[in-house]
């Protein structure tokens, strides 16, 4: 992940610099229909993230209130939800990293077994 950070920062910088240049121009780059669709898609994505965080916050807060006897404030629902969402994303990326290592081990073992089989077939054993 560390080796991709520079690439990601570079892409974001190019996009930001490109968008500044596009804003400075008088002629529209895309049609109003495309701008409206992009705005709508962005609104829907942000609404989905907010709703997910809200539901996660409700669930975690419900469990916390079961344990503490309704002592946790409802004002913490959104912060708890966003932290839970970020935590789930980090766990997912951690699992993907572990899965990638397991897959590589499987591939290496498979190649070793295949080479052993080829050698045994070549020696007629």
Tens digit of pLDDT for each residue in 67-109?
Answer: 988 888 888 899 999 999 999 988 888 888 888 889 999 999 9
Cβ(64)–Cβ(72) under 8 Å?
yes
Range of the domain at 81: 2-122
Cα distance between residue 94 and residue 88, in whole Å: 10
Cα distance between residue 125 and residue 113, in whole Å: 15
Backbone region of residue 73 per phi and psi (left: phi > 0; alpha: psi in -120 to 50; beta: other values): beta
When comparing pLDDT for 38 and 18, which is higher?
A: 38
Cα distance between residue 125 and residue 123, in whole Å: 6
Secondary structure tally for the chain: helices H, strands E: 3, 0
Cα distance between residue 76 and residue 56, in whole Å: 12
The number of folded domains in the chain is: 1
The number of angstroms, rounded, from the C-alpha of 70 to the middle of its chain's C-alpha atoms is 33
pLDDT digits (tens, 9 = 90+) for 38-63: 788 889 999 999 999 999 999 999 99
Using a cut of 0.85, tell me whether the model's pTM lies above it. Answer: no
pLDDT of 36 reads 83
Cα distance between residue 61 and residue 54, in whole Å: 10
């Amino acid at each position: 992940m560390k080796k991709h950070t520079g690439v990601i920062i570079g892409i974001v910088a190019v996009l930001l610099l490109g968008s500044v240049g596009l804003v400075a121009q008088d002629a529209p780059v895309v049609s109003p229909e495309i701008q409206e669709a992009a705005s709508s898609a962005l609104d829907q994505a942000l609404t989905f993230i907010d709703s997910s965080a809200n539901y996660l916050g409700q669930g975690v807060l419900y469990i916390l209130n079961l344990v503490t006897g309704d002592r946790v404030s409802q004002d913490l629902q959104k912060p708890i939800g966003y932290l839970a969402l970020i935590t789930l994303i980090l766990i997912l990326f951690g699992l993907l990293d572990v899965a990638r290592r397991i897959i590589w081990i499987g591939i290496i073992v498979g190649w070793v077994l295949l080479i052993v089989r080829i050698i045994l077939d070549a020696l007629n054993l």
